[in-house]
Amino acid sequence: MEQFKGKIAFGGIAIGPVRTIGSSHQMVRRTRVEDVTQELKRFSDAKECAIEELKALYEKALPQVGEEHAAIFEVHQMMLDDADYCEAIEHMIASQQVNAEFAVATTGDNFAEMFASMDDDYMRARSADVKDISERVIRILCGVHESTDGDQHPAIILADDLAPSETIQLDRKSVLAFVTREGSVNSHTAILARMMNIPALVATPAGEVTDGTLAIVDGKQGLFITDPDGETREKYEKLLAAEQEQRKLLATLKGRESVTKSGRKIHLYANIGGVSDVAAVLENDAEGIGLFRSEFLYLQNNDYPTEEEQFSAYRRVLEMMAGKRVIIRTMDIGADKKIDYFNLDEEENPALGYRAIRICLDRQEIFRTQLRALYRASIYGRLAVMIPMIASRWEVVEVKRIMAEVRSELDAQEIPYGEIELGVMIETPAAVMIADELAQEVQFFSIGTNDLTQYTLAIDRQNNKLDRYYDAHHPAVLKMIKMVVDAAHEAGIWAGICGELGADTELTRTFVEMGVDELSVAPGMVLPIRKGILEAE
């Protein structure tokens, strides 16, 4: 038995035989051509043929992975038409009188090396795209037909790397999992694997493995295990059986409303950290997004995200959710989420320090940029915005004043915007105690149980020495949740839970009995929580 550690592109368990896929790299030799005009035409014809193939691949990918991720094949079409790329190939053919295959291969290698040397992870991942389009053109020039990997027995696919076009052409029914020795979690192949719900590991240093070797992919621990012993195989067979039971649950509960036996509707939403997570929201049949952690737009950047960058992300999420409510939390930077370019001072107790709304009200230019992006995006769906770390009523009043000024700016610039529901996160004991006052200022409450628990119990949740004391089921925490729900209903607004406690199936019935109106959980927990709601009175 051998075990290799890889990077997780998509979770899940797979057990089955290995099927290796060799590199699609074509061996190309340099030859001298006499008729340059004819050779340029060969390249042009091959390029047009490649574009037609990519159009067909886009149509095939569309129903499998959705428009956003199928768009990679439209990107490949544009890359094939890129002036710099094409001119470099044509210039080499004309000036050196070389065959088109050699010119494409050399140019592809040069461009791929250029992308691979860039600092940006996304741009580095484009290196594989340049290789993919170049190999496609070379294959056509060589007269080799594209393989569709027809009828095959289900197997774990092992390769050095997989181009997006290779990934999408594999018969989904014949693929148990992907394992690649190279690649990154930012590659389009990894994204497509996630969209296809196929367990996938990348950058896995697996040695040579014979076709047919029994293997296990553990997409939760990032492990690729070959020739497992009996005990290991039995362990993973049990885990796989449990996973399959979960899939059956998905099938039976999809499309059903989250309604209790007594007929009370509970809004069941999902938490996300970015645009790519929307796929999991839709796959798991969430009824909306109850927490979009907008700070991830800041965490993944090397500088403050621009208004356009934020607007684009918010708009895409709203469009994909097609009129379902999307609740975006304004940036919650600070505490355990440090960003170098914010230049935050070191603090003795950052969890109680300069963070979230405190930064926004202090550095209003950052906050206004985010609010402008949110308002501009609001015309593309049903948008709600919630403010984290509120402890006083005056903070909400100040937020509303800034929002009014942003609306006035947009009006003056004749930039359209829609209605935005405003809510606050209840995650401090202070907010709980003045919930009746806060309810006069907003349209909803969302209870952040992670921070509420740590502040209520005076426990730093980042300190693993205190794990035994961190009790989210503590009576004080549950009583506070009930107080917030009651205050909300008395004021005529709704109250939900977006913290980890919302996904605790042991408490689903308790929350229903408390009168909680909405639960927002990790996408994978939507259907188990729906089951609890359906069984509640």
- Judgement on whether residues 272 and 405 belong to the same structural domain of the protein: yes
CA distance linking residue 207 with residue 428, whole number of Å: 52
- pLDDT tens-digit readout, 20-29: 876 555 668 8
Sign of CA dihedral 177, 183, 185, 190: negative
φ/ψ of residue 220, rounded to 5: -95, -35
Q: How far is CA 450 from the centre of its chain?
A: 22
- Judgement on whether residues 121 and 269 belong to the same structural domain of the protein: no
Average pLDDT over residues 148-161: 72
Is 212 inside a domain boundary?
no
Tell me what the pLDDT averaged over the chain comes to: 87
At residue 148 the predicted structure's pLDDT band, cuts being 50, 70 and 90, is very low
Is 255 inside a domain boundary?
no
CA distance linking residue 393 with residue 401, whole number of Å: 13
CA distance linking residue 97 with residue 370, whole number of Å: 54
Give one DSSP letter per residue of 197-251, joined into a string: T--EEES-------TT-EEEEETTTTEEEES--HHHHHHHHHHHHHHHHHHHHHH
Q: What's the confidence (pLDDT) of residue 188? A: 57
From 203, 266, 227, select the one nearest 537 (Cα to Cα): 266
Is 273 inside a domain boundary?
yes
Q: What's the confidence (pLDDT) of residue 69? A: 64
At residue 150 the predicted structure's pLDDT band, cuts being 50, 70 and 90, is very low
CA distance linking residue 174 with residue 166, whole number of Å: 14
The one-letter amino acid code at 284 reads: N
Q: What's the confidence (pLDDT) of residue 537? A: 87
Domain that holds residue 134: 27-141
Distances (CA, A) of 366 to 19, 295, 310, 339, 388: 51, 12, 12, 14, 15
Q: At what angle do helices 307-321 and 364-377 cross, to 10 degrees?
A: 40
CA distance linking residue 449 with residue 499, whole number of Å: 5
Our count of domains for the chain comes to 2
Provide the terminal-to-terminal Cα distance of the chain, rounded to the nearest Å: 50
Is 227 inside a domain boundary?
no
Q: What's the confidence (pLDDT) of residue 300? A: 73
Side-chain half-sphere of 290: how many Cα atoms within 13 Å? 31
Q: Look at residue 195 and tell me whether its pLDDT is greater than 60.
A: no
Question: Would you tell me how many other CB atoms lie within 10 Å of the CB of residue 283?
Answer: 17
Output 342-350 pairs: Cβ under 8 A, ≥24 positions apart: 342/298, 349/460
Is 7 inside a domain boundary?
no
Do the Cβ atoms of 332 and 388 come closer than 8 Å? Answer: yes
Sign of CA dihedral 370, 375, 376, 382: positive
Q: Look at residue 214 and tell me whether its pLDDT is greater than 60.
A: yes
Q: How many helices (H) and strands (E) does the chain have?
A: 20, 16
Residue 269's SS3 state is: strand
Q: Vertex 357, ends 308 and 479: CA angle to 5°?
A: 130
Q: What order of strands is seen across the sheet that includes strand 155-159?
A: 2-5, 223-226, 214-218, 13-21, 155-159, 175-180, 200-202, 7-10
From 75, 54, 69, 284, select the one nearest 191 (Cα to Cα): 69
Which distant-in-sequence residues (6+ apart) come within 8 Å of 503 by Cβ?
Answer: 519, 521, 522, 525, 528, 529
Which distant-in-sequence residues (6+ apart) come within 8 Å of 401 by Cβ?
Answer: none
From 389, 473, 475, 385, select the one nearest 429 (Cα to Cα): 389
At residue 352 the predicted structure's pLDDT band, cuts being 50, 70 and 90, is confident
Q: What's the confidence (pLDDT) of residue 520? A: 96
Give the CATH number for residue 100.
1.10.274.10
φ/ψ of residue 213, rounded to 5: -65, 135
Is 60 inside a domain boundary?
yes
Distances (CA, A) of 384 to 314, 326, 356, 359: 11, 6, 18, 21
Is 218 inside a domain boundary?
no
Domain endpoint, select from 141, 168, 189: 141
The beta strand positions in 37-196, using DSSP E, are 155-159, 175-180
Query: Worst-scoring range by mean pLDDT, 175-189, 430-444, 475-489?
Result: 175-189
pTM of the model: 0.61
At residue 197 the predicted structure's pLDDT band, cuts being 50, 70 and 90, is low
- As given in the structure block, the two tokens for residue 12 are 């899940």
Known catalytic residues are: 188, 498
CA distance linking residue 524 with residue 530, whole number of Å: 11
At residue 123 the predicted structure's pLDDT band, cuts being 50, 70 and 90, is low
Q: Look at residue 476 and tell me whether its pLDDT is greater than 80.
A: yes
Q: Look at residue 467 and tell me whether its pLDDT is greater than 80.
A: no
Domain endpoint, select from 141, 156, 177: 141
Give the CATH number for residue 288.
3.20.20.60
- Judgement on whether residues 131 and 271 belong to the same structural domain of the protein: no
Domain endpoint, select from 141, 168, 193: 141
CA distance linking residue 279 with residue 195, whole number of Å: 7
From 102, 163, 87, 168, select the one nearest 138 (Cα to Cα): 102
CA distance linking residue 466 with residue 291, whole number of Å: 27
- Judgement on whether residues 434 and 294 belong to the same structural domain of the protein: yes
- As given in the structure block, the two tokens for residue 178 are 């992907």
Q: What's the confidence (pLDDT) of residue 390? A: 96
Average pLDDT over residues 313-338: 88
Is 148 inside a domain boundary?
no
- Judgement on whether residues 390 and 530 belong to the same structural domain of the protein: yes
Residue 15's SS3 state is: strand
Average pLDDT over residues 364-380: 96
